[in-house]
Amino acid sequence: MGDQESEIEDLERVFNTAKATPIKISYGALRLITQNFAQVIGSGTFGLVYLGKLQNGAMIAVKKLSLRIEDISNKKFLDEVDVLRRLNHKNIVRFLGYCADTHGEVMDVEGKLRVVEEPQRLLCFEYAPNGNLHDYIREKSYGFEWHIRYQIIKGVCQGLSYLHQERINHLDLKPENVLLGPQMVPKITDFGLSRCFVAQKSVIFTSNIFGTRGYIAPELIDNQQISFKTDIYSLGITLVKLLTQSNEITENWHESLEQDCPQMKRCAQIALSCIKWDPKDRPTIREILDQLDDTETKFRKVDTAVYEPSKDPESSLYQV
């Protein structure tokens, strides 16, 4: 227990230090932090996410990878760690630590009790108290004002711009993979499918089609082609759902938007350009941010209170 408590204290130090290097932590310590993985708070591409609580009361998220196919899972784990350890941005979920242990369990194997050694691969992140963007859109009856939605749009674009500057393709950008932190600051998460582009390479080809149906760019489906414009297509679908306040997209979705909000119109134009069939016709993330900045110079910003579901007794995310 002493070693585990010391590890948890080390994790607390990482949590409290903005630019601290993520640390290795044992499976036993993570079982203690999560109360034996008692509360599921989400799911990622390759595993479930559990709520953890440190000794100082701070909450973290612990992602436990599924190991049905060990070789594949190990590769995905290493790929995700490789991406996460490079990242440090307010609109990217913060990576705190990882576990790469083998844990023995007593199991009934063909009628006999055996000690079976099972690999455990886990990732620790900051906890986002306001859930994810998909649930926020679904529960839009509270606090769905335009200024909050615009803040989320701008933050997601800033996070994606940072990734592309670091030569990282997310490849599974969608509302479920945008967490909402304190003050509704959006944080891109789940890098299980991400790819790092080397040098100045801007297009690669793959033998596999991956991602989430409805967000996968047509060139990946048709030609197995990946570029940074692949993320832009997924961003466009995400923007449409946030603009229309719906997780369902209709054919003429842009006609239902408020006609007297120029900033919303500009965001709709951006979304339409992002989901063009030909990737050459889509803007870069830098061009999108320039357009958003242009709207902000034309319209005076009004400081308005930010609604947080975690502070609303009517929300399923309410925290006492």
Q: Write out the binding residues.
A: 64
- Is 172 part of the annotated catalytic residue set? yes
Distance of CA 269 to the CA centre of its chain: 24
How many other C-beta atoms are found inside a 10 Å radius of the C-beta of residue 287? 13
Distance of CA 35 to the CA centre of its chain: 24
Q: Collect all residues with Cβ–Cβ distance below 8 Å to 203 and sequence separation of at least 6.
A: 225, 226, 227
Nearest-angstrom CA–CA distance, 81 and 4:
22
What is the β-pairing status of strands 47-53 and 23-24? unpaired
Q: Write out the binding residues for ATP.
A: 64
Tokens 């799911």 appear where? 43
Nearest-angstrom CA–CA distance, 271 and 238:
8
Nearest-angstrom CA–CA distance, 15 and 97:
10
User: Which ranges of the chain does DSSP label H, i.e. alpha helix?
Assistant: 2-16, 27-33, 70-84, 133-138, 146-165, 218-223, 228-244, 262-274, 285-298
Q: Is 187 helix (H, G, I), strand (E, B) or coil?
A: strand
Please say whether the dihedral angle defined by the alpha carbons of residues 278, 213, 204 and 177, taken in this order, is positive or negative.
positive
CA angle 52, 101, 66 (to 5 degrees): 70
Q: Which member of 135, 172, 190, 231 is catalytic?
A: 172
Distance of CA 256 to the CA centre of its chain: 28
Largest CA distance in the chain: 73
Which helix (H) or strand (E) is 124 found in, with range?
strand 112-126
Q: Which residues are catalytic?
A: 172
